[in-house]
Structure 1
């Protein structure tokens, strides 16, 4: 009697991880585009990318791709290793962001923009849970945070705060949009991401320390949350 092959379950697990990765990244790009369309303030990195976009004439999606690639170069001296999710993150977010903005017109009334912003932040949390739970590697910005933490020995919370404040200030000085959406994102994304990381956790993956936030537990719901 032949032993059952493990190839089928492994292929099924890989397929699910790939679906979660690319669904999550696509939805993340959509959420970023919707936040721009809501025009009530962006998250820090998008503030910077929008500011650069306004000075270069490049679309914000193109700037997102270029900045992601440049940040990835900083991984080299920090000795971080990119994964499939890292490379996919660099390419997909900007493309989907621009496509979303091309398809979704900018609403004129505040009564439409507020719900659009709330939906975008919720969608961003959902997307975060999907793509990080797939465990194909951190995004370039999270890897920068982790690398600086490991090289400097400073707490993750401090490193992340310093990076995002610096990015936010630079983006604001360049003309990026700061507003209620910036505050809502800062307050809501942690709890939302934690919830969806638990919801979309994939059973059957080997336990391993998070590569996104050092000293986090092996459980994926801790993957992007500072201790």
Structure 2
């Protein structure tokens, strides 16, 4: 007969487990926003969707972060309508916090007022790597996909097109509208298309291994108990 032991410690582990997962999720969002801010400040080109957010921001008095939230919430809503499903709470937390974190990172007085070409290049490459690493962190937790990820999967399922093609079409559409609105498109924008994916994939692989280790630690311990002996009176 097997019996679970340490029930109180198991429940405590459960709390610790989810606390760690949410911490990784939140830190991943901060890291992602930091990378996006670095790319924007580099003046060598922003990530594809930030071209759209910047373009919308230049046409209004609203901040980049607010447009990140608006566009993201619209995409989450459309994906749910198309797929007729309810969104994960993590998806809302994801897009709301990224908007706040991006505005905060852009407001910090840590960027040179004038950058030499090599300084801009460092901010660009560093931003791409940081953004990809942060994206991998939050995706690996499985607590809530970003709006672009959700829309990609829904459209791929409904149209029968490959995920890669759907994502490329979405990125291209965002880039086109962003450019038409006056968003900054430069060499770094196209460079990010090729580099963010590999960095993000490596980050996902690393953090999924960490989450797997956390899952194993969460498994309650089982011990073999001796069966009770019946004594005939």
Q: The TM-score by the shorter chain falls in which range?
A: 0.7 to 0.9
Is the alpha carbon distance of 1:58 and 1:33 closer, same or farther for their aligned partners in structure 2, counting shifts above 3 Å?
A: same
**Equivalent-residue separation in structure 2 for 1:181 and 1:88 (angstroms):** 28
Total equivalences in the alignment: 206
TM-score, normalised to structure 1, is 0.85
Q: Please, what is the CA RMSD of the aligned residues? A: 1.8
**Equivalent-residue separation in structure 2 for 1:138 and 1:108 (angstroms):** 35
Is the alpha carbon distance of 1:107 and 1:17 closer, same or farther for their aligned partners in structure 2, counting shifts above 3 Å?
A: farther
Unaligned runs of 5+ in 1: 207-227
**Which range is displaced more, 152-161 or 99-108?**
99-108
Partner secondary structure for residue 177 of structure 1: coil
**Equivalent-residue separation in structure 2 for 1:20 and 1:172 (angstroms):** 34
Unaligned runs of 5+ in 2: 217-233
* Bigger Rg, structure 1 or 2: 2
Select the residue among 160, 178, 182 that pairs with 1:175: 182
2:94/2:144 contact within 8 Å kept: no
Partner secondary structure for residue 200 of structure 1: helix
* 2:116 alignment counterpart: 109
Partner secondary structure for residue 194 of structure 2: helix
Larger relative contact order (CA 8 Å, sep ≥ 6): 2
Deviation of 1:188 (Å): 1.0
1:172/1:178 contact within 8 Å kept: yes
Select the residue among 4, 7, 14 that pairs with 2:6: 4
**Equivalent-residue separation in structure 1 for 2:54 and 2:190 (angstroms):** 17
1:38/1:107 contact within 8 Å kept: no
* 1:38 alignment counterpart: 42
**Equivalent-residue separation in structure 1 for 2:49 and 2:13 (angstroms):** 38
TM-score, normalised to structure 2, is 0.83
